[in-house]
Amino acid sequence: MRQCTIARQTCNILSILLQVRRKVRPTASFHAQAESPSSHAAHWTSVIYHNNIVASSTLAGVVGAMTASPGPRATVRMNTLIDLPHARPAAASSLADRAYALIQRDIITMRLKPGAALNEADLVARTGIGRTPVHQAVHRLVLEGLLSVMPRKGLMVQPLSLDDIVAVIDVRRINEAHCAELAARHATPDDLARLAALLDDGRARVDAHDVEGMMEIDRAFHQAIAAAARNPVLADVLRALHERSLRFWFVTLSEPRHLADVQSEHRDLFERLSARDAAGARAAVERHIDSFRSTLVQHLRS
């Protein structure tokens, strides 16, 4: 049953990416490697281009079999919860991105409560941005599962679903464990310096009990590890999973004990990566995600 749930969750991610593709004209071509007797290309479920960023969905655990080369697109930015594409073709697009970021932040931080009913006019007033950009942002948030459309009634903030997030966690655990192994082998001194800086920032956020700030650090830390793994397809899969996890990160990080635990777990993982201990890094990230799961389940059942 759990395997079926994971497969459905992966298919949902693929569906979102394909729907985005229909809305955005590809801006670059992609030439896949010719298939060989090896298993590299055999496990692909989809690869598309979106604003010059390869977006991929694949069954859990198999993306690590792909080969990839490092590139500048693997950088991590921390100035926002949204890792937006660097290309911003028009002012209207920028407004839609801003509306998306504002609404997404309010959903993630529970300012817009799970199950709350609202409409686009409410969001126009809330963001101070026009109807068209807000409509575009709403469409994106519906595709990502943060909002749902109620026919003839308006919109609803998607309720928190334990089954959904457990399925996401299962996919994350498999793929992030492999990602940590790759990062232990391929991380450069610059990658490790980036992770060390994030750890320092995280310590300050924990001391200040800055939940939103620590959530940004947590996300940036995991994406920096994905960049260090030097597999952009795997990084894209994890980015999509992180987007689906953000509300739950906020819930768990609101627990003071877990906030400090995350910092300690990040430190342990960093030490394994620095020591080039692939097996240790894998075990550390599995413990980290298991701790997240346990804290979340306890919170949602309480």
**What is the C-alpha to C-alpha distance for residues 159 and 83, in angstroms, rounded to an integer?**
24
Domain 2-32+41-62+161-301 has CATH 1.20.120.530: yes
Fold (topology level) of 91-157: Arc Repressor Mutant, subunit A (1.10.10)
In angstroms, the Cα distances linking 115 to 28, 45, 150, 251, 296 are 39, 33, 11, 16, 18
Specify the DSSP element, H or E, that contains 50: strand 46-50
- Residues in the chain, total: 302
Q: Provide the residue ranges of all domains of the chain, joining segments of one domain with +.
A: 2-32+41-62+161-301, 91-157
Structure tokens at 268: 């342990």
Q: Could you tell me what percentage of the chain is helix, strand and coil, using 3-state DSSP and rounding each to the nearest 5?
A: 65, 5, 30
DSSP state of 49: E
pLDDT value of residue 253: 92
pLDDT value of residue 207: 95
**What is the C-alpha to C-alpha distance for residues 16 and 31, in angstroms, rounded to an integer?**
22
**What is the C-alpha to C-alpha distance for residues 206 and 225, in angstroms, rounded to an integer?**
20
- Label residue 260 exposed, middle or buried (CB < 10 Å: 0-12, 13-18, 19+): middle
Q: Are 215 and 262 in contact (CB under 8 A)?
A: no
CA end-to-end distance (rounded Å), the chain:
25
Specify the DSSP element, H or E, that contains 57: strand 53-57
pLDDT of the chain along its 302 residues, tens only? 555 555 555 555 555 544 444 444 433 333 333 333 333 333 333 332 333 333 333 333 333 433 343 444 333 333 334 333 333 434 556 999 999 999 999 999 999 999 999 999 999 999 999 999 999 999 999 998 899 999 988 999 999 888 888 999 999 999 999 999 999 999 999 999 999 999 999 999 999 999 999 999 999 999 999 999 999 999 999 999 998 899 999 999 998 889 999 999 999 999 999 999 999 999 999 999 999 999 998 888 87
Give the other-Cβ count within 10 Å of 79's Cβ: 8
**What is the C-alpha to C-alpha distance for residues 217 and 223, in angstroms, rounded to an integer?**
10
pLDDT value of residue 64: 40
pLDDT value of residue 299: 85
**Does 91-157 match 2-32+41-62+161-301 at the fold level?**
no
Residue 11, phi-psi category: left (phi > 0), alpha (psi -120 to 50), beta (remainder): alpha
